[in-house]
Every structure is written in C-alpha cells, then in structure tokens.
Amino acid sequence: MCCSSFPGKPIFSVDIHPDGTKFATGGQGQDSGKVVIWNMSPVLQEDDEKDENIPKMLCQMDNHLACVNCVRWSNSGMYLASGGDDKLIMVWKRATYIGPSTVFGSSGKLANVEQWRCVSILRSHSGDVMDVAWSPHDAWLASCSVDNTVVIWNAVKFPEILATLRGHSGLVKGLTWDPVGKYIASQADDRSLKVWRTLDWQLETSITKPFDECGGTTHVLRLSWSPDGHYLVSAHAMNNSGPTAQIIEREGWKTNMDFVGHRKAVTVVKFNPKIFKKKQKNGSSTKPSCPYCCCAVGSKDRSLSVWLTCLKRPLVVIHELFDKSIMDISWTLNGLGILVCSMDGSVAFLDFSQDELGDPLSEEEKSRIHQSTYGKSLAIMTEAQLSTAVIENPEMLKYQRRQQQQQLDQKGATARETASASSVTGVVNGESLEDIRKNLLKKQVETRTADGRRRITPLCIAQLDTGDFSTAFFNSIPLSGSLAGTMLSSHSQQLLPLDPSTPNSFGASKSCTEPVAATSARPAGESVSKDSMNTTSTPAALSPSVLTTPSKIEPMKAFDSRFTERSKATPGAPSLTSVTSAAVERLKEQNLVKELRPRDLLESSSDSDEKVPLTKPSSLSKRKLELEVETVEKKKKGRPRKDSRLLPMSLSVQSPAALTAEKEALCLSAPALALKLPIPGPQRAFTLQVSSDPSMYIEVENEVTAVGGVKLSRLKCTREGKEWETVLTSRILTAAGSCDVVCVACEKRTLSVFSTCGRRLLPPILLPSPISTLHCTGSYVMALTAAATLSVWDVHRQVVVVKEESLHSILAGSDMTVSQILLTQHGIPVMNLSDGKAYCFNPSLSTWNLVSDKQDSLAQCADFRSSLPSQDAMLCSGPLAIIQGRTSNSGRQAARLFSVPHVVQQETTLAYLENQVAAALTLQSSHEYRHWLLLYARYLVNEGFEYRLREICKDLLGPVHCSTGSQWESTVVGLRKRELLKELLPVIGQNLRFQRLFTEYQEQLDILRDK
Amino acid sequence: MAKVSVLNVAVLENPSPFHSPFRFEISFECSEALADDLEWKIIYVGSAESEEFDQILDSVLVGPVPAGRHMFVFQADAPNPSLIPETDAVGVTVVLITCTYRGQEFIRVGYYVNNEYPNPELRENPPLKPDFSQLQRNILASNPRVTRFHINWDNQEDRLEAIENQDPVLGCGLPLSYTPVKGLGHQGGIPSLLPENSMDCI
C-alpha cells in the first residue's frame, strides 16, 4: 500500500512504534519539515482501511523548519525523536490531556486524533541532522549531522550533551547502537565507518577499506547492528566496483563478508529485531539448528532485498518497488512486517509469514543466549516470562489480579479523561465550554496598563497535564530538589522494556545451509484511496458565493503577500499620523534585509525568519544542595561573621602553636589540645534570625547597661511580635535558638538556656573550653568547643545525649575543616567535613559513624534506577538527604557503567543501598529509613536476592507468638516494623519468583491480625 | 518551537454592518508560562494597492499567560472610513490578526473580507461616494490564512548564556545561528527601548 502526506514530497524516514499500533514518517512538508504519525491498523487490515471511522492519520507536526531526515521512537515508545535540515532535533511526547483537534488554518477538515507535543528541542548541530538513534536502554539519544559530528544527548536530562564525537571528516549520515549498548557506529561521506565506545566515548575503530571506492552519492547511510550484537552491516560500500552492504564482525572488526547484488548504492540496512531459528518440521528429525538474523537492505536502485544470515542468497528481492530511491526501513516488533519509504513520497508495507522467516526466539530464549554471551544476568523477569510462571497459591493470585484490576482502572480513568476532553463541549469548573464562550466577552478581565493600553487576562480553559513529568523534566529551572529523582524514576519506567530488545547470540550462521523456500513477499494490501490519506494543500480559491465581484480577483493576489509578510511590533494605540515614519522604517528594514541577505542564503531554505539560537536552558541543579538545606535549616539573617551557625561554615583546625598567639582572658584558658577550633570574638551587638515561620529572632547587645560600674549584656528575643529580654553578666559570644529553646554562650565559658518565653531553664553550664559553635534543634542544644569537643543535651528532659565527645577521631587528618554542622530532630549531631565526608555521632554506641562520602565510589557505581518507586517517593527529605545532597550523579555514572559486568554493579548497588539504610537508621530519620529500606527491598526483589530479603522480612515480622524472652523490638526509629512489612509484601509479590516468601509472610501477618 | 500555538479563531457576529466592531474569539495553547505579555493586533487593509492605507484597529496585551489552553475575545472598532480610498471601499479586502511576543511576530492570521451592499438596488447602482452605513462586512471565516514565523522565545540573556555554555570547539560553526534576523534580534531583547512612535509598516 502507499500513503503519503504530500503526494510527491519525499519521505525520508519511517519508524514503527514499538507497540505496533502506529508509525511515524518524516519528510518534506508544504514549506516546512513534516512529521506524521499514522495508524497502523489500516495498513495491516483491509477492513480497517475501509472503515471510515478508523483514522488513518493520527497527528501531523510541521514544527520543523526544514525537511525532516529522520524519525525514531524510543524503545519505550513514549518519545519520538525527529531530526531535520533545520539543524534541530525535536523530542515529542503524547499529550493526553486534549482530544482531537485540527491544525488551525490547515484548511482540510483533518483532525489530529492524537496530540503529540514537542517536549524538547535539541540544538547543537551546525548543519542538517541526518540521523538520530535511541540507545537500547533509552538513556541516550545520538544524532549525527552534516557538520561531521555525532552528538550524544542525555535522554534522561535533555538538553544535556554527554559527548560530541569528532573524527569524521565528512557528512555523517547514519548511526546505529550496538544492542548491548557498548558501542555506537556511524557512517559518513568521508568513506569511513567508525565505531565508538560508550564507556569513554572514544573511537574504538575506524573502518575504511570497504569504502575506498565510494563516492558521496547517497542522501543517507543508515547502517544497522544485528540484534545479537555480532554483526554490524554498513550502508553504501564497494567491492570490485560493485555496490555492497559490508558486514563487519564484532570480533576484531573483520570485514570479510558483504551483501552483494544491488545495482546502485545501498542507502539503508535494517536488521529484524527478532532472532530466528529454523521452523521445526513435523516428522523430520529435530536436529537443533543455529539461530540466525534477518536483514533488509534498501538501495538507490529502488529495490529491496531481504537476507537471512544463514543463507548465502537473499530470501527475496523486490525490484523497482518505488519510483525513486529507498530512504528508510522499519520492521514491526514481531519481525514479520516491514515498512519501506521512498524519496518518491510513498511508503510500502510487506509482510512475511513465519514459514518464510522461521520461528522467532522467545524472550526467554533470547535472555538465555544473551546471558551466556554477555554475562549480564536478567534477574528482572520480563512480562513475557512472568506470564509463563505458575501462580501457586490463591493469595498470590488475588494479589496479581488486584494489581491488574488497578492497572485497568487507571487505564479506564485515562480513557475517560481523554474521552471527556475530546468531546467538543468540554467542561471547565462545571461550566460547559459553550456557556463560557457565550459570556466570554463579558466575563473576561480587561485592565489598562500604566501607559493606557488594553490588557486582557485570558481565560484558562485547560491546564497542561501535571502528571506529565516532561514539563518539569525539560524545564530549565530546577523546580525542587527532587528533580533529579523525578528524572531517574521516570527513566526507570523507560528502562523496563529494555530487556526484550537486549541482544542474543546466535551460532555461526554460515554452517546453516539448509535451503529455505524463498517465497517472495508480496506487497500487501491495496493502495489506500488517496483522498483519505492525503492532506489537501490549501486551496487558494475562494467560494464565489461570498465574493461577488470578479473584478476584484486581481487585487487578491496583491493581498496574498499580506498574509505572509510579517509585521513588526508596535507599541501604543493605532496612530494614523505616522505614515511617513513608517515608510522610513520600511526603507530601513529593506536595507537591513539586504545586509543580511548573504547570511540568509546560508541559512536553510525556509522563508520565515529562522532563529536557531542554540539556547540551552540554563543549567540545573547546581544550586540544589543549597536550596534544600535552606528549606530545612532555619534561615538566618545577620552579620556575615555570625554565619558560623549557618551553613557553609568553615572551622579551621589550628595547630597548638597558633594557640598561644590568641589573646584570651585567664578564665578562658583551656587545657592543651591537639585541635583548636576558632572562637567567635565578642561583638557589641548582633541579631540572629532563628526562623522565619514563625518569625523569631534574637538580638544581643553586649555591655549596654552599667549598674554600679558593672556592665551587663542584654539578650532580647522576639517571636511573632511577642518579645522578652533578659540580662547576663558576661559578654555574649554566640547565640542559637529553636522553637523550643534559646541559648547563649558567654565569654566566661558559660552556657545559658532559656525557654521560649525567656525563663531560665538551667543555671549556667560551665563549658570545658570556650565555645566555638552553638546549635539548637527542638529541645536539643549542641555546643562545639574550641577544644573540638562536642556536647549535646536535651534540656527538656535534662539529660546528656553526647558528652564531651572529641572530634579528634574525625578531624585527625591535618587540614580538614568542618564545613557544615547539623543537629537532627533526634539530637544526633552530624559533621560535614571539607573532604566531603560526613559523620554522625551515635550516642548509643558512642561512635562516630560515616554516613556520607561525596567521593564514595559506591554511590557512583550503584544503579538502582529500575527499583526507584514513583516520583513522589523521591521527594523523601531528611537529614540524610541534606547531608548527601541529591545528585543525579549516581544514575549518570551508572549509565556510563552500563557495560560493566552486571555482577559488579549488583554488588556495588547492594552495598550502597545497605549503607543508605544503615545511615538513615543511625540518623534516626524514620522517613528516610523507610524510603531506603523499601528501595533496597525492591532492588533485592528485582535482582532476586532471596536470603537478604528473607532476613529483612524475618526481622520485620518478629516472633509471631509472644515469648517473654524475645529481644525483638516492635518498632524501628518510630516505625512499626509490621507496618513496614505490610508495605514490603506487595513489592515482593511483584516477582513471582518470590511467591512463596510472599505467601509465607502474608499468612503470618494475617494470623497476627486475627489475634 | 513556538511556545504559543493558536488553536482557533472564531469570527463572531459575521456578517455584520460595516460600522460594527470586529470580534474574534481566539483560543491558543501555551506550552510554557510566558514571562511577558502577548500583543495581539487587528489590522485592516484599506487598499490592496498600498500598505499606507492599513489601519491598526486595535492592539491589546494578553497576559499573564501560564501554560495551558486559553481563550479571549478580541474586540476592535470598525475601521475609519475616511482613511479608506473610495475605490476600495466596496469589494474584497483583508483583515489581519497578528500576535507578537517581545516585539517579534510569530503568527499572522488573515481573512478575506467582502464589503458589499446587501440592498440589491445599491449593489446594482452603487453610489459614487461609498455609503458606509449601508455596507455589510462579510468575513470569509471558513478560510483563514495562517502564517507562522519562528521567533526567539527566550530572552537575550539566555541566548548569551547559551553561547557561553557551548563547547568552545564547536564555536566555528555557530555564529550563523545567532544572526539576529532582519534586525529583530535586538528588539526581542529590549522591547522597552523601542521608540514609542514607531508604527506598523507591514
């Protein structure tokens, strides 16, 4: 069948959606590039084609300024990337919040059945973008261009560029990823094919020999990698003056074989995503045959050949399928169908039977082969595998059903949403759109600006879907600290479908010589009636009934230019007097145009003013850490030097020698020390904001009142308008406050604590050495002395939490400084050091525990993206998050380590997650403990670690039957363990492999509940 | 890509007497909240012969514009008949709706307008001097001509930053992309510096 959006306009690219329900084409539009998304079912089924209710075209996007050279769906099917002569790559995502609509002004009555919204524009190339390709795991998007470069984009964080691959000396016209994600290959007009490593983005090899005789004669050079990863097949190569497709073996990049037979240059090669094996014939001996791959080759000679790697001759050759060169090929995911597009503006569909191609390997078989070849375990069961597992007990069955039902419900809900949105009379706030429209003019808010201009506030009739992560995702402004997490988690959704596409090995195909009946594939289906599939071009003719004056037809041509010539901005109301000035302006403009002409010529063909400002939304996330900390820490105004309590604090460790230089009062003298922290010097007065909500601040005035020659210091505290004050006899060096207490440290080494109303809670505490830093959280007071000892008291309960603990053990290194101090809600002190490490003091063990390390290589290697829960769970905040900062780094590093042995990654990930759980526990941060524990458990479930999972469950459940001798605590950091277990079980239930574990604990929980 | 796309323009009260105001109900979609207002204009083309007879019927600011779908009614007074050449009063002309963001026009919607006497007698023997009170205006609402222009939606600072952020090695290929096209670039950046008296000179 043939279809075309603009008859005769070339179609440069075609790609079938992974779910097989639609496909995209890219090419030349009216006066722009055009991307069209088509419905697949009319192509596959004749009945659907005839059914007028089934739309053929789903959406068309003419946002590209010039011809679209390539369209590619992400492996997840969620995104479509398109690249064109306008140097841009656009990434599209389906917008679910709106129903069908027409493109305003596009004359025809064609509706866009689906809405695809451009969520990101990638600008970097300085020339036409020729090809784009998503990496197998969808974390990267590669693009190549006539600017001789290949750019690797971070698909998790557009528009970040991970690497620009330079080395080609000619137009790069094709890209393909190694299915294992270890390499990417590019082919260019410089007569070379280059393979790049994804580990360091450096050149692995450059292959030139087969291309020596090639001329730069093809528009594209779309090469392809076999699904098992063993073979890379180039586009246009030459062998003995004949055009070929060169086969390059992964082993040693050998170039011994090629596909020969096309009369003109090969433009496109595309491997079938499936690996096949010989169909087992009934009765014949079931001798296992080697798996093989299938490959389609398209050429400028307008013919298509399909090859099986086990055959020496092509399976089928279809001559003169089109009027012009073949430009792109796409296989259906089941491997039995193929779409081919041509420069002549048509797309052909061919289908094969299993008899012709063979039996596709199941996902399970693929995994097995895959595992044996590349050693990457696929512990995560794919859906296909899951469906084959036997559900052993009714509880599990119930659970699985419930889940399915939930999914269905969700789908139903979305469908309903779509449906309601699609009905013409949508409802906004219970009011129908029709009603709104009737009263819009009366209702709309109109004001006058300062300069007297009318300003209308538009009525919002629909909001963009907020559940759509892409708005935040592609936004240039860091919306919240959890952004990175959001990205990662949404990415993990994309990651899941990765597995089916992962490579598999097949044996040496050359040995398979059994002949296969090479039945020629038939171009299936009849041509679709052109009218239905066409977008009619804008008819310029006007209906005569309206225009009754034929004499006026002539001037209408003059009008035509008026529709397209752009005006310039005009401030102010219509002024009718400035015609002359306008004329002058016009002259000026013409001059400008002349000046710019040569440049314009260099720009691409579009007549509209092109702007490709390569705007990169400003960088994200740099400020993230600070932002987060600010939200948790109390904000504080005041003099700079008082910032010692505020965050980036730097307490230098001084040598004892420096000590002597310090002038100090006698009473302040401290014992000889190895460590010395700076002491805040006395000030006349200072102010300290404790919190902004409720507004609370402390004012200190030293030596204000003289009573009989004695100077007193005044402490004043204002809280939400109410204030209290008190006086002290010694000069106040530093102060701190929380919502519960206010404390001050004085020159005479005393520490005084007051209630929020100014009542003294304790007689002055004598510190062992002068104060260095004072800190309050809740009812906890922390004092860090100049002698580098730390004490924490709970003033309400009047107990010591940490008693004069030396920082010596953590500051032992010579030039380390404390960069940040935290006191958690539970009175756990945390020291962030300048070397990126953070320690907390565990009062029950009396130990300093390392809770965070910026240089932690575990964090950088850990890859638990697949276990990340929904986005909101990443909003988890707490002391651990403050200390560590949330970096998207881990994910990125992990992505780079994609080719690292899976076992290594598993180990690092486990170690990292266990560290996190333990750290959260030590910090007594219940929220974070729960978060990390669930994450850890999810990872254990995904990767299939039963022992550890069982241990966790066992501890959480505790003894089912009460026994007095039990040491088991029913809570952990304030969380009920059995509640945690209840949360955990559904996670475990997701992997059928653990159904026994699931059942076991579910039953025991049920017993406990019934008791 | 354009942050704002016009979804529909409905021509209200059409046809109508020549002197009655123009009313367009405009729906548009914004993909990302806009920092500045949109400026909409209705331009009435007095004569096909010359742009000198163009009249800006009204210009209105629309904002604030958060992401989402929005609509409003743009109403503007009828053109001043005294500024229309007598020979062009009856017959076909054009009305344009334009929208600019930071001084850059990104969409232009044009409609053919037919001005005629509904009265058959007048139609047969039109008066020498056009009688505007008798004229009826009919906008060919079914056939809007839409032209979209690509503009810079981000501000000048962003662009500069983008240049700085670029990999320096790329530099050689870049400058072309930054060419402020047809002198609009600087206007886009600092609209406040535009002369107050500058008039549309389409």
For A637-641, what is the mean pLDDT? 38
Residue at which a domain ends, from A122, A147, A166: A166
Is there a contact between A566 and B2 if contact means CB atoms under 8 Å apart?
A: no
Is there a contact between B73 and A440 if contact means CB atoms under 8 Å apart?
A: yes
Residues of chain A neighbouring B25 (CB-CB closer than 8 A):
437, 440
**Most confident option among A98-112, A705-719, A895-909:** A705-719
pLDDT for position B179: 36
Nearest to B97 by CA among B201, B1, B15, B6: B6
State pLDDT tens for residues A765-788. 888 888 888 888 888 999 988 888
In whole angstroms, give the CA distance from residue B54 to residue B79: 9
* Domain match, A149 and A201 both: no
Nearest to B144 by CA among B54, B16, B2, B14: B14
**Most confident option among A356-370, A852-866, A947-961:** A947-961
* Domain match, A250 and A372 both: yes
For A936-959, what is the mean pLDDT? 86
Is there a contact between A570 and B198 if contact means CB atoms under 8 Å apart?
A: yes
Q: Cα dihedral sign for A236, A242, A244, A246? A: negative
State pLDDT tens for residues B57-99. 999 999 888 888 888 999 999 999 998 888 888 888 999 999 9
Is there a contact between B60 and A458 if contact means CB atoms under 8 Å apart?
A: no
pLDDT for position A653: 41
Cβ contacts of A683 within 8 Å, gap of 6 or more? A639, A641, A700, A702
List the single range of A417-431, A801-815, B94-108, B131-145 with lowest mean pLDDT.
A417-431
Helix %, strand %, coil % for chain B, to 5?
Answer: 25, 40, 40
* Domain match, A155 and A254 both: no
* Domain match, A791 and A938 both: no
pLDDT for position A494: 33
> DSSP characters for B7-19?
EEEEEPS-SEETT
Residue at which a domain ends, from A166, A184, A208: A166
* Domain match, A191 and A65 both: no
What band does A512 get if pLDDT is binned at 50, 70 and 90?
Answer: very low
pLDDT for position A870: 53
* Domain match, A954 and A969 both: yes
Indicate whether A333 pLDDT > 90. Answer: no
State pLDDT tens for residues A646-662. 333 333 444 333 333 33
* Domain match, A902 and A930 both: yes
Is there a contact between A464 and B174 if contact means CB atoms under 8 Å apart?
A: no
Chain A residue with Cα closest to B36:
A455
| Count of domains for chain A | 4
Return the CATH number at A242.
2.130.10.10
Residues of chain A neighbouring B32 (CB-CB closer than 8 A):
471, 475
Nearest by CB to B92, which of A63, A552, A571? A552
**Domain range holding A50?**
1-99+111-166
Assess if residue A668 is contained within a domain. no
For B145-168, what is the mean pLDDT? 58
What band does A945 get if pLDDT is binned at 50, 70 and 90?
Answer: confident
The residue among A147 and A997 whose pLDDT is bigger is: A147
State pLDDT tens for residues A480-494. 333 333 333 333 333
pLDDT for position A590: 47
What band does A506 get if pLDDT is binned at 50, 70 and 90?
Answer: very low
What band does A131 get if pLDDT is binned at 50, 70 and 90?
Answer: very high
Structural contact between residues A223 and A269, judged by C-beta atoms closer than 8 angstroms: yes
For B3-17, what is the mean pLDDT? 88
For A178-186, what is the mean pLDDT? 87
Residue at which a domain ends, from A806, A830, A845: A806
Task: Return contacts of A428-431, CB within 8 angstroms, 24+ apart.
Answer: A428/A461, A428/A462
Chain B residue with Cα closest to A63:
B1
In whole angstroms, give the CA distance from residue A45 to residue A867: 40
Q: Mean pLDDT, chain B, as a whole number?
A: 76
Is there a contact between A578 and B197 if contact means CB atoms under 8 Å apart?
A: yes
The residue among A540 and A979 whose pLDDT is bigger is: A979
Residues of chain A neighbouring B45 (CB-CB closer than 8 A):
559, 562
Indicate whether A323 pLDDT > 70. Answer: yes
pLDDT for position A64: 86
Whole-model pTM: value is 0.47
∠ CA A907-A178-A255, rounded to 5°: 130
* Domain match, A916 and A793 both: no
Assess if residue A478 is contained within a domain. no
Assess if residue A994 is contained within a domain. yes
Tokens matching residue A849: 């525990």
Assess if residue A813 is contained within a domain. no
Residues of chain B neighbouring A565 (CB-CB closer than 8 A):
202
Residues of chain A neighbouring B110 (CB-CB closer than 8 A):
559, 562-563
For A406-414, what is the mean pLDDT? 63
Nearest by CB to B182, which of A87, A578, A593? A593
List the single range of A317-331, A335-349, A461-475 with lowest mean pLDDT.
A461-475
Assess if residue A894 is contained within a domain. yes
Chain A residue with Cα closest to B65:
A458
Residues of chain B neighbouring A438 (CB-CB closer than 8 A):
none
pLDDT for position A814: 61
Assess if residue A61 is contained within a domain. yes
Nearest by CB to B1, which of A118, A126, A460? A118
Mutate to test the interface with B, among A606, A609, A619 (most CBs of B within 10 A): A609
Residues of chain A neighbouring B28 (CB-CB closer than 8 A):
458
Indicate whether A473 pLDDT > 70. Answer: no
Helix ranges (H only) for B77-176 are 120-124, 156-165
Number of CB pairs, chain A paired with chain B, less than 8 A apart: 302
For A171-195, what is the mean pLDDT? 91
Chain A residue with Cα closest to B107:
A566
Residues of chain A neighbouring B112 (CB-CB closer than 8 A):
542, 546-547, 556, 559
Mutate to test the interface with B, among A97, A152, A562, A565 (most CBs of B within 10 A): A562
In whole angstroms, give the CA distance from residue A742 to residue A339: 74
The residue among A858 and A851 whose pLDDT is bigger is: A851
Could you identify the residue written with the tokens 């060096």? Answer: A733
Assess if residue A837 is contained within a domain. no
* Domain match, A27 and A161 both: yes
Nearest to B62 by CA among A775, A444, A94, A535: A444
Tokens matching residue B74: 């743009």
For A473-481, what is the mean pLDDT? 30
* Domain match, A155 and A247 both: no
State pLDDT tens for residues A901-911. 677 778 888 88
Nearest by CB to B201, which of A121, A585, A614? A585
The residue among A477 and A751 whose pLDDT is bigger is: A751
Indicate whether A862 pLDDT > 50. Answer: yes
Residues of chain A neighbouring B90 (CB-CB closer than 8 A):
549
State pLDDT tens for residues A363-399. 777 767 766 666 543 333 333 343 444 555 666 667 6
Strands A789-794 vs A799-806: parallel, antiparallel or unpaired: antiparallel
Indicate whether A705 pLDDT > 70. Answer: no
Chain A: give the shortest CA distance to residue B180, in Å.
8
List the single range of A138-147, A187-196, A865-874 with lowest mean pLDDT.
A865-874
* Domain match, A704 and A788 both: yes
State pLDDT tens for residues A520-569. 334 433 333 333 333 333 333 333 333 333 434 444 566 767 777 665 44
Percent of chain A past pLDDT 90, that is, above it, reads 16
Chain A: give the shortest CA distance to residue B45, in Å.
9
Q: Mean pLDDT, chain A, as a whole number?
A: 72
Indicate whether A307 pLDDT > 70. Answer: yes
Chain B: give the shortest CA distance to residue A326, in Å.
30
Measure the N-to-C terminal CA separation of chain A; round to a whole number of Å.
Answer: 68
For A850-857, what is the mean pLDDT? 78
Residues of chain B neighbouring A65 (CB-CB closer than 8 A):
150
Other Cβ atoms closer than 10 A to B30 = 20
pLDDT for position A876: 64
What band does A419 get if pLDDT is binned at 50, 70 and 90?
Answer: very low
List the single range of A51-65, A299-313, A590-604 with lowest mean pLDDT.
A590-604
Is there a contact between A549 and B90 if contact means CB atoms under 8 Å apart?
A: yes
What band does A707 get if pLDDT is binned at 50, 70 and 90?
Answer: low
Indicate whether A832 pLDDT > 60. Answer: yes
In whole angstroms, give the CA distance from residue B134 to residue A245: 75
Indicate whether A34 pLDDT > 80. Answer: yes
Chain A: give the shortest CA distance to residue B72, in Å.
5
For residue A462, what are the β-bridge partners? B69
pLDDT for position A458: 86
For A437-444, what is the mean pLDDT? 74
Cβ contacts of A786 within 8 Å, gap of 6 or more? A670, A676, A677, A678, A679, A769, A770, A771, A772
* Domain match, A705 and A780 both: yes
SS3 A821: strand
Other Cβ atoms closer than 10 A to A832 = 25
pLDDT for position B56: 92
pLDDT for position A125: 93
pLDDT for position A597: 40
pLDDT for position A634: 38
In whole angstroms, give the CA distance from residue A698 to residue A736: 8
Indicate whether B125 pLDDT > 80. Answer: yes
pLDDT for position B155: 60
Residues of chain A neighbouring B2 (CB-CB closer than 8 A):
63
Assess if residue A759 is contained within a domain. yes
Indicate whether A280 pLDDT > 90. Answer: no
